[in-house]
Structure 1
């Protein structure tokens, strides 16, 4: 009898332990959380790359999209997430996390069927525990973009820098098309939410990597890093995992527009404005806390 009781106790404990571990794994998987940046921790390499594969048929092509990063030490949690946009709309996303590692790599293949400006942006994140007492983080971004054009209705052709006259014309055409499309989308959202653009410094999410070592206007480097960390925390929870609408429901982000980031000039908050695949403007608001 006593042996049976002991056996039952062991089984109950085992099931409880497994449940706690699974719950913890789920919490870890769904967490990008900003903690103070540890200046001693660095990334030895970060890379986002888009590789164009010439098609066997002229009506489509293949993109190989890779995200890779290496930290200078093992971290309690490593996580990389990335977005892939084509002509201003999200066409794919990928994310990967792992505990007690310094290196992550992930890859996806995407089929394309039209001329496009393709832009990829990734966020590399590490959560570090110091003596199980203090928690720090490390973060970095990487990006890539390519142009894909169907030259004179022939096979698709890709380029990063426009050298030939045809490439220059296609670059201008695709840049202009994407810019105008996003402008009208963002204008629609600005009107919908009665936003005064003069009160904000705004830029597309894809421009966040253009000056990765620069601080936001009016903010120190430390403040900028915290804003970026909190921004990606919000993007992960409310964009990557699903766009959270005003009524609390979520919709898939695929097909949505590149988010517009608006930082209040009074340094109090920022806004993330996007439009879902079905044309509905959505808005995420984050408090910054540096306003006076």
Structure 2
């Protein structure tokens, strides 16, 4: 009987330890998987914020490797630093990157993916810092970076990559790849607008990658402070509902890889954003992010 009581006591202790560990582990995950906008601190600045995409090497005759890098440095250590990136190939999400650090100023992240055929690559990164002050005051700092690359992989010419075309061949391929991407995205976005019963003339429209233009520029009808808050809130919503996965009707979460480049719509009264994209399986997704 005494041995049984000791056994039960040990089991209870082990269960309590496991429960405590499980709670702390899951609490850690929750912290890592949160990106929350707080008022911008104008005294805190990013002194470096870059995204880069370049051709690494050729694997074989039919495949090559593309490398993506992003790095950022704040002018001080922050309670929480996080960078998240999207990589698109011809308007389709090919990869995501995210890195999270506590009590840090600098973040570096990299990723390699295999490619084939001629393609147009884009990467956009949201660099974010959460700064804590005494008396429970929390503020943010944020900036975006962007890069792109054209890759020519044709049986008629050697493998090469460029950003700005310098030869007639590069100019021809830029025209082909730009138009292929444009036609495909216009087709997808047209379907999304029709399915959502939205009138395009009621909105300012831009792809997600064009948000880089609003690092310093204000959104229509908004002040700089309001624009920064709107952009921060938009990225918060994109992170939760696109980057971390797409919620299905049955409650399951599916990967965003293979989905279309999101179309960002800002209503002309600047009260809300609508984010539209098509999943890899062809499902239409509509997200709404209020500005207020």
| Fold equivalence (TM over 0.5) | yes
Aligned positions of 1:1-292 closer than 5 A? 18-131=21-134, 133-151=136-154, 153-245=156-248, 248-289=251-292
More off after superposition, 99-108 vs 238-247: 238-247
Note closer, same or farther for the CA distance 1:14–1:130 as it changes in structure 2 (3 Å cut).
farther
CA distance in 1: counterparts of 2:221 and 2:134, whole angstroms:
35
Once residues 241 and 165 of structure 1 are traced to their aligned partners in structure 2, the CA distance between those partners, rounded to angstroms, is: 41
Q: Secondary structure at the match of 2:148?
A: strand
Q: 1:74 to 1:10 in 2, by over 3 A?
A: farther
- Aligned residue for 1:229, secondary structure, equals helix
C-alpha contact (below 8 Å) 1:127/1:136 kept by paired residues: yes
- 1:114 counterpart SS class: coil
Structure 1-normalised TM-score? 0.91
Q: Is the 8 A contact 2:51 2:123 kept in 1?
A: yes
Deviates more, 1:24-33 or 1:179-188: 24-33
Query: Structure 1 stretch 66-75 or stretch 17-26: which is displaced more?
Result: 17-26
- Per-residue CA deviation, residues 218-262 of structure 1 (Å, 9 max, x unaligned), is 111111111110111001100001123466443210000000000
Instruction: Return 5+ residue gaps in structure 1 as ranges.
Output: none
Residue aligned with 1:189, SS: helix
State how many pairs are aligned: 284
- Please list every run of 5 or more consecutive structure 2 residues that lacks an aligned counterpart in the other structure: 1-5
Deviation, 1:25, is: 1.3
CA RMSD of aligned residues (A): 2.1
Where 1:258 maps in the other structure, the secondary structure is coil
Tell me how far apart the structure 2 counterparts of residues 73 and 13 of structure 1 sit (CA, whole Å).
40
